Amino acid sequence: MKATSRDVAFGEKNKNIPPEKNPENRPVRNFGSQKNSGENFNSKNPENPGSKIPLPVIFGGESSERQVSLLSGTNVWLKLRNSKKFAPEPFLLDAQKNFWRLPYALTLNHTVEEILQNCENAPRDFERLKFLREKIRLRLAAEKSDFDAPLFLPEKISLEKFIKKFDQFFIGLHGGWGEDGELQKLLEKNGKKFNGAGSVGAKISMDKFVTAEKVAELNSPEILPARQKLISTAEFLKFSEKNFTEFFQKICREFAAKNLIVKPRGDGCSSGIVKISSAENLQKYAEILRKKLSQIPAETFPDQNGIVEMPTKTPRELIFEKFIETDAVRIKAGKLNWVAKTGWIETTVGLFEIAPGKWHVFAPSLTVADGAVLSVEEKFQGGTGVNLTPPPKMSATAISKVRESIARVATKLELKSYARIDAFVEVSSGKIIVIEANSLPALTPSTVIFQQALAERPAISPR
């Protein structure tokens, strides 16, 4: 199971205008708090009319998705550097909730840890970097004006000062603090604008158990919640061998299932999500939690072909669900191999608000997993994942029904601005089982939300 996360921005009137013909005049919708939902970012900087609007782009953090957040944030920052409206600046969030203002060169490092280390070492290395920069400029016979990225020492700013410093923010954080509604609540309290859902919608989406409860309240035969069993991690870790056996058998009977899925209640993306086929698997999962492992090695659990990232903090509660058997869809030698089993497939759907409470939903994508559960790499890193948009073998009627259902779910979950919802879909009917929602979906260059936007007619460019 998965979780799944721009200046995607166009209104009702001009939504059919190709982006290349209207690159800057398209209004930016709903990059604000719930209070400001539906308002555009200010088109002018009140302190300096005609200048670009300062826009801090936040990424990093300490969740298991921090590296994906780095990819999302740098992608957004680089794309908006070409904007005529915004002046984006990259800011890295550290584990102490400080924000580091980054120079260009440090932003393009590979990992959050590497950037933080370079920030700490920057005062020592600054003069050497200035010397090397000038040496390179002279060898290139370039003018100083050709170097448009200023060289400066990284600046550490406290959370309180950071919020006061800007009027609006682009949150590129995934999982944990920053996507769970806490940062959003602070920004709302200070009257600031930001992308994604407000504090309420973010909190609902981060909590997979509450998400399922909200979906159930729709009481729709076309929109089904995942059946769930909730247990505290502390209780789970006290189980004896007999308890694990009884627990596994009991849930399998309740769900009429042979296999289960376990997932942390409140964490992002694929963190800690594996297939459970026996009481022995449960014991193994408990041992991983006791040892506080950061990763589960490949082949530890059934159909687990790759590494599974674990939450950076021990989850307080675990959710068990029925493992949904899907049709076997694989790409072999460049060809689609689809073996019908149950008539269900796993999909992900991107969407965004074109007006308050009115959603434009992209066509769903069939997500092709190498194992039982999609990995973070398959979802967000180039060359590792396969998404088919729209899914083959689905009729236009079924796809239309999925879009309508996803819009209803987004409204129920109080999502705003843009989002991504993952669901199992019955190919013949378009009926869905909601897996989870992302109030801040990834915006890496490889994320499916861009593919879905490009599949629209006319296509919508990333920026």
Query: In the prediction, which pLDDT does 269 show?
Result: 61
Query: For residue 194, which of 183, 207, 205 has the smallest C-alpha distance?
Result: 183
β-strand 260-264 against 317-322: which pairing, if any?
antiparallel
At CA 87, angle to CA 146 and CA 196, rounded to 5? 140
Is 309 inside any structural domain?
A: yes
Strands of 52-116, DSSP E = 53-60, 86-93, 99-101
Is 345 inside any structural domain?
A: no
Domain count, the chain: 1
Query: In the prediction, which pLDDT does 117 show?
Result: 94
Query: For residue 114, which of 129, 133, 100 has the smallest C-alpha distance?
Result: 100
Is 95 inside any structural domain?
A: no
Query: In the prediction, which pLDDT does 412 show?
Result: 98
Query: In the prediction, which pLDDT does 381 show?
Result: 47
Is the distance from CB of 453 to CB of 460 less than 8 angstroms? yes
Give the Å distances, CA to CA, from 455 to 27, 44, 273, 372, 391: 21, 32, 30, 27, 12
pLDDT digits (tens), the chain, 463 positions: 333 333 333 233 333 334 344 433 333 333 333 333 333 334 344 445 458 999 999 999 999 899 999 999 999 999 999 899 999 999 999 999 999 999 998 998 899 999 999 999 988 888 888 888 888 888 998 888 777 778 889 999 999 999 999 999 999 999 889 999 999 999 999 999 999 999 999 999 999 999 999 999 999 999 998 899 999 999 999 999 999 999 999 999 999 999 999 999 987 666 899 999 999 999 999 999 999 999 999 999 999 988 999 998 899 999 999 999 999 998 877 788 899 999 999 999 999 999 998 999 999 999 886 644 444 444 444 445 688 999 999 999 999 999 999 999 999 999 999 999 999 999 999 999 999 999 999 999 888 899 999 999 999 888 7
Query: In the prediction, which pLDDT does 149 show?
Result: 78
Query: In the prediction, which pLDDT does 85 show?
Result: 92
Query: In the prediction, which pLDDT does 369 show?
Result: 66
Query: In the prediction, which pLDDT does 266 show?
Result: 82
Query: In the prediction, which pLDDT does 346 show?
Result: 94
Is 111 inside any structural domain?
A: no
β-strand 193-194 against 168-171: which pairing, if any?
parallel
Is 312 inside any structural domain?
A: yes
* Residue 275 three-state SS: strand
Rg (CA), the chain: 23
Query: For residue 410, which of 445, 371, 362 has the smallest C-alpha distance?
Result: 362
Distance between CA atoms of residues 216 and 193, nearest Å: 31
Q: Look up residue 334 and give its DSSP letter.
A: T
CATH number for the domain including 267?
3.30.1490
Query: For residue 136, which of 107, 105, 90 has the smallest C-alpha distance?
Result: 105
Query: For residue 194, which of 36, 88, 69 has the smallest C-alpha distance?
Result: 36
Helices of type H across 329-433? 376-380, 396-412
Q: What is the per-residue burial (b if ≥16 Cβ within 10 Å, else e) of 90-110?
A: bbbbbeebbbbbbbbebbebe
Query: For residue 418, which of 195, 107, 148, 113 has the smallest C-alpha distance?
Result: 195
Residue type, 29: R
Query: In the prediction, which pLDDT does 246 show?
Result: 97
Distance between CA atoms of residues 49 and 289, nearest Å: 54
State pLDDT tens for residues 402-419.
Answer: 999 999 999 999 999 999
* Residue 409 three-state SS: helix
Q: Which residue has the tokens 């919802």?
A: 421
**Which helix (H) or strand (E) element contains residue 117?**
helix 112-140
82, with CB counted inside 10 A (0-12, 13-18, 19+), is exposed
Residue type, 47: E
Query: In the prediction, which pLDDT does 19 show?
Result: 39
Is 335 inside any structural domain?
A: no
Distance between CA atoms of residues 296 and 287, nearest Å: 11
- Count Cα atoms within 13 angstroms, Cβ side, for 21: 7
Q: How many CB atoms lie within 10 A of CB 297?
A: 12
Give the Å distances, CA to CA, from 302 to 55, 110, 185, 282, 346: 45, 31, 40, 12, 18
Q: Which residue has the tokens 């601005």?
A: 417
Is the distance from CB of 35 to CB of 193 less than 8 angstroms? no
Q: Which domain holds residue 252?
A: 228-322
Is 268 inside any structural domain?
A: yes
- Dig out the tokens for 10 from the structure: 């166009």
Q: What is the per-residue burial (b if ≥16 Cβ within 10 Å, else e) of 247-257?
A: bbeebbeebeb
Beta bridge partners of 86: 53
Helices of type H across 207-352? 208-217, 233-237, 241-255, 279-291
- Dig out the tokens for 53 from the structure: 């609007």
- Dig out the tokens for 241 from the structure: 């061998």
Query: In the prediction, which pLDDT does 50 show?
Result: 58
Is 437 inside any structural domain?
A: no
Is the distance from CB of 264 to CB of 206 less than 8 angstroms? no
